[in-house]
Structure 1
Amino acid sequence: MTESARPRKRIILGAFLSGVNHHTVWSAPEAGSQIAFSSFEHLARTAERGKFDFFFLAEGLALRERSGRVFDQDVVGRPDTLPVLAALAAVTEHLGLVGTLNTTFNEPYELARQLGSLDHLSGGRAGWNVVTSFDAFTGQNFRRGGYLHRDDRYVRADEFLAATHRLWDAWGEEAIVADKESGRFLRRPEDGTELGAFSFQGDQFDISGHFTTPRPPQGRPVILQAGVSPGGRDFAVRRSDAIFSPYRHLDEAQEFYRDIQRRAALAGRAPGEVKILPSASFVLGDTEADAVERHRHIARQQVTGQTAQILLEAVWNRDLSGYDPDGPLPDIDPDPEGPPVIQGRARLHQDAHQTVAEWRALAEAHDYSLRELALHVFGRTDFVGTPRQVADLIDAFVQNDGSDGFILGSHLTPTGLDEFVDRVVPLLQERGALRTEYTGTTLRDNLGL
């Protein structure tokens, strides 16, 4: 079916509060606090005013380091995810509340209770971005340390999800309906089975007992995951409701979209059951030229010379502070086997030598400096233009199956999303690509799951 012949897809939108990466221009005079609840509240209320599907909060479990010292250009001091989302449940009515929580350094019973409780407190609006970790640096903050081998991270994550599903299902669907008024129903009437009884045995977990939290309103909170490797993609289509896509250009995004849908079908999932959501940012101007100039200015605030060096150090695994950010790429080879120069940053490029070779070819073809290359390869999907141009670009990307929507972030906390809601949202609503009112009562309803 051609794009013109099929129904228009409704765009899914999430609001992303940056804070653990270089996209946040925390030094801007108009930037607000990364810790004060007022910042989280402002962004969540703005997203709900724009009829967004959910608020998304990332999380880092360790302060990142460079050569043994904490990054001096990173935003640090972020509160814990779950208390923030629980507080936001009290000041929003429809917006989904999605948090990043790690399967390597948590336990199924603990997270199942916390997420189930958030789903109850919010009336069915909880979501979980499932992430893994294998590095010893982050593991130093936890009892288990860095024991988990890279190859085992999805093994544990897959079993973790299976265990949490068992826990959420421990109270049968009929039990929560019967119990919803009193909260005191102790046995299922049909067979006398104790409510909440569970048992789960696997290679990673051997747990049993009684689950204390009644079945969540959604049955299970919405699950999001970022899987790019073949193993990550297979895990995502088995366990996730939505997948973060790292692809910024339509052709590669379409290829990823098709591959995920193919894998989902092989896993027995229905068409459209797994949503694809890249992160993105936007820059608006009264004219296209204004927007382009503003984007150039913001990008250079985000990627300073020092930031560019550090971003490339994560791949070279060498100290690049002696190289001019406005000069050519380093003339030395990467050292992927050496002691880590950068600690606490996810490894996005598995083959350092291949990546550096590709970057050198790219820099030669476009005459990029070190900093210009960093601006090119580490940027998000940026929609730049007038409000109508940005609305056109977002709609075209989704309708042509580059994604099912976007998780939008801004360089400015917490007010950066305001102008998108004020100037772009009405244009998307006008063409029928974005809801004008919430119709569902849960996050699953709003996402069409």
Structure 2
Amino acid sequence: MSKRQKQIHLAAHFPGVNNTTVWSDPAAGSHIEFSSFAHFAKTAERAKFDFLFLAEGLRLREQGGKIYDLDVVGRPDTFTVLAALAAVTDRLGLTGTINSTFNEPYEVARQFASLDHLSGGRSAWNVVTSWDAFTGENFRRGGFLPQEERYSRAEEFLTTANELFDSWYGDEILADQATGTFLRDAKAGAFVHRGRHFDIHGRFNVPRSPQGRPVIFQAGDSDEGREFAASSADAIFSRYATLKEGQAFYTDVKARLAKYGRAHDQLLILPAATFVLGDTDEEAAELAREVRRAQVSGATALKHLEFVWNRDLSSYDPDGPLPDIDPNVSAEHISRGRAQVRMYRDPLAIAREWRELAAANKWSIRDLVIETGNRQNFVGAPATVARTINEFVQADAGDGFILVPHITPGGLDVFADKVVPLLQEQGVFRADYEGTTLRDHLGLTHPDEARTDRVAS
């Protein structure tokens, strides 16, 4: 008896806080104007994707006091954009990254509960922490928290937010919320939380939303991040989009669920993935090389190298050889707490390896960064890409993918038009939405279904 094929989950990431997008391409549009967000969302919904995802940038990326040349110049507020998109879509999930380091549980819970009402049950929250010292300078707290403190705060932040979401649930709340009558007495919304990071009490003023709570996403790759996801999240983003690495991540995270009393299907694993399509595999491969070179300018290549060397390399020619000096491992890192520090725990060894690669291949600094950096995950003709995506999901390298096009906002169109129909023909992706909420799309149960204290009838 053959094994039943898994259904693929697909989502779309509107790029905007990284240099994935090729802004120099004539087809590229605005990442500020609402028409771009609307076009992107409508394409994702036309393709029956589970959700649209917005990342968050609380400060423009900079180094040495200069903004990255290929980085975003500004980003609208996530909640404002998602609320506006709720009005121009009907089924598409709306997922936003909101920081737990520089926000407060009450305001975030209130915003997500409101979005869930406005969208008819389509909201999702990607819970993240912050490692950026320069981001912290925008906020009254300042600085950045050590990793163990970040996750401690994030865990209590989510616990507190859930208490607020659940404060309108209980025996004293009427089941028929459609009538607009919610109370038998004055208990609804009352909450008290006493903890290490938060000491609050009061009344939550947004009634129970269609999903009860927003769908919870988590994006950390550290051991703490994986545990956080296994204990509390509905889905986890993964940066592993190769088959072998994806399978290892999938196996590790799924194995952590049992200790929290959770089943294998109660946490979805969704790697982010880029793609380049062509009429043939060869055409797509050539286009992918052009895209990658457009994504890594000379200035970007030098900034990337500075993360390892921990030195100002602005005097070096990006089209010339790698620096012959060693990385500075004694001074405070120039990135001041940024994520890339964790990627290169032994800068001296990385520098030696990169020099050897560059010498053997006659690579310049820019060539090296292009060749050793992230590649497009799925490259080929539509049939090739559809087949590869399905192979990855069936081999448990993920439960689906969050697709990141290199053109905004129209880069998703070709995937929707040429790849999605092939997946539908294979019977591994929906032909239409079967439910109305994001929990329906993802196959997740409503939080109230697991409760024993049912509402009054």
**1:386-410 Cα distance to aligned partner (Å, 9 max, x none):** 1000101111111111111111011
**Comparing 161-170 and 18-27, the one that deviates more:** 18-27
**Comparing 172-181 and 118-127, the one that deviates more:** 172-181
Residue of 373, 377, 381 corresponding to 1:378: 373
Q: 1:213 is paired with a residue of what secondary structure?
A: coil
**Paired letter, 1:444:** R
From the superposition, tell whether residues 151 and 193 of structure 1 become closer, same or farther in structure 2 (CA, over 3 Å). same
Q: CA deviation at 1:316?
A: 2.5
Q: 1:398 is paired with a residue of what secondary structure?
A: helix
Q: 1:333 is paired with a residue of what secondary structure?
A: coil
**Paired letter, 1:395:** N
**1:258-281 Cα distance to aligned partner (Å, 9 max, x none):** 000111122221012111111111
1:351 is the counterpart of 2:351: no
1:431 is the counterpart of 2:426: yes
Identity %: 58
1:410 is the counterpart of 2:405: yes
**1:400-446 Cα distance to aligned partner (Å, 9 max, x none):** 11111111011111000000000000000000111000001111110
Aligned residue number for residue 122 of structure 2: 125
Q: 2:183 is paired with a residue of what secondary structure?
A: coil
**1:76-114 Cα distance to aligned partner (Å, 9 max, x none):** 111000010000001001100000100000000000000
Alignment of 1:28-427 (within 5 A): 28-146=25-143, 148-172=145-169, 178-187=175-184, 192=185, 194-342=187-335, 345-347=338-340, 348-349=342-343, 351-353=345-347, 355-356=350-351, 359-360=354-355, 368-427=363-422
Q: CA deviation at 1:343?
A: 6.1
Please say if residues 279 and 381 of structure 1, whose CA atoms lie closer than 8 Å, have aligned partners that are also in contact: no
Q: CA deviation at 1:184?
A: 4.0
Aligned residue number for residue 453 of structure 2: none
**Paired letter, 1:373:** L
Count how many residue pairs are aligned between Structure 1 and Structure 2. Answer: 442
Q: Distance in 2 between matches of 1:51 and 1:325?
A: 43
From the superposition, tell whether residues 266 and 360 of structure 1 become closer, same or farther in structure 2 (CA, over 3 Å). farther
From the superposition, tell whether residues 350 and 200 of structure 1 become closer, same or farther in structure 2 (CA, over 3 Å). farther
Please say if residues 64 and 342 of structure 1, whose CA atoms lie closer than 8 Å, have aligned partners that are also in contact: no
Q: CA deviation at 1:350?
A: 5.3
Q: CA deviation at 1:367?
A: 5.8
Q: Distance in 2 between matches of 1:363 and 1:119?
A: 51
Please say if residues 131 and 338 of structure 2, whose CA atoms lie closer than 8 Å, have aligned partners that are also in contact: no
Please say if residues 140 and 146 of structure 1, whose CA atoms lie closer than 8 Å, have aligned partners that are also in contact: yes
**Comparing 165-174 and 345-354, the one that deviates more:** 345-354
**Paired letter, 2:312:** D
Q: Distance in 2 between matches of 1:392 and 1:159?
A: 42
Q: CA deviation at 1:345?
A: 5.0
**Comparing 37-46 and 65-74, the one that deviates more:** 65-74
Q: Distance in 1 between matches of 2:70 and 2:336?
A: 14
Please say if residues 96 and 127 of structure 1, whose CA atoms lie closer than 8 Å, have aligned partners that are also in contact: yes
Q: CA deviation at 1:185?
A: 2.7
From the superposition, tell whether residues 151 and 84 of structure 1 become closer, same or farther in structure 2 (CA, over 3 Å). same
Q: Distance in 2 between matches of 1:52 and 1:374?
A: 33
Q: 1:178 is paired with a residue of what secondary structure?
A: coil
**Comparing 33-42 and 228-237, the one that deviates more:** 228-237
1:17 is the counterpart of 2:14: yes
**1:302-332 Cα distance to aligned partner (Å, 9 max, x none):** 1122212212222322222333434444333
**1:45-78 Cα distance to aligned partner (Å, 9 max, x none):** 0000001000000111111212112223321111
Q: Distance in 1 between matches of 2:73 and 2:57?
A: 9
Q: Distance in 1 between matches of 2:75 and 2:144?
A: 26
From the superposition, tell whether residues 204 and 390 of structure 1 become closer, same or farther in structure 2 (CA, over 3 Å). same
Give the RMSD, CA atoms, in angstroms.
2.1
Q: CA deviation at 1:211?
A: 0.7
Structure 1, gaps ≥5 residues long: none
Please say if residues 334 and 352 of structure 1, whose CA atoms lie closer than 8 Å, have aligned partners that are also in contact: no
Q: 1:417 is paired with a residue of what secondary structure?
A: helix
Q: Distance in 2 between matches of 1:70 and 1:35?
A: 18
Please say if residues 64 and 344 of structure 1, whose CA atoms lie closer than 8 Å, have aligned partners that are also in contact: no
Q: CA deviation at 1:7?
A: 1.3
Q: 2:41 is paired with a residue of what secondary structure?
A: helix
Q: CA deviation at 1:341?
A: 3.2
**1:111-150 Cα distance to aligned partner (Å, 9 max, x none):** 0000010011101100011110133211111111115333
Q: Distance in 1 between matches of 2:90 and 2:285?
A: 36
Q: Distance in 2 between matches of 1:363 and 1:444?
A: 48
Please say if residues 63 and 76 of structure 1, whose CA atoms lie closer than 8 Å, have aligned partners that are also in contact: yes
Please say if residues 130 and 144 of structure 2, whose CA atoms lie closer than 8 Å, have aligned partners that are also in contact: no
Q: Distance in 2 between matches of 1:357 and 1:219?
A: 53
**Comparing 415-424 and 321-330, the one that deviates more:** 321-330
**Comparing 296-305 and 108-117, the one that deviates more:** 296-305
**Comparing 317-326 and 279-288, the one that deviates more:** 317-326
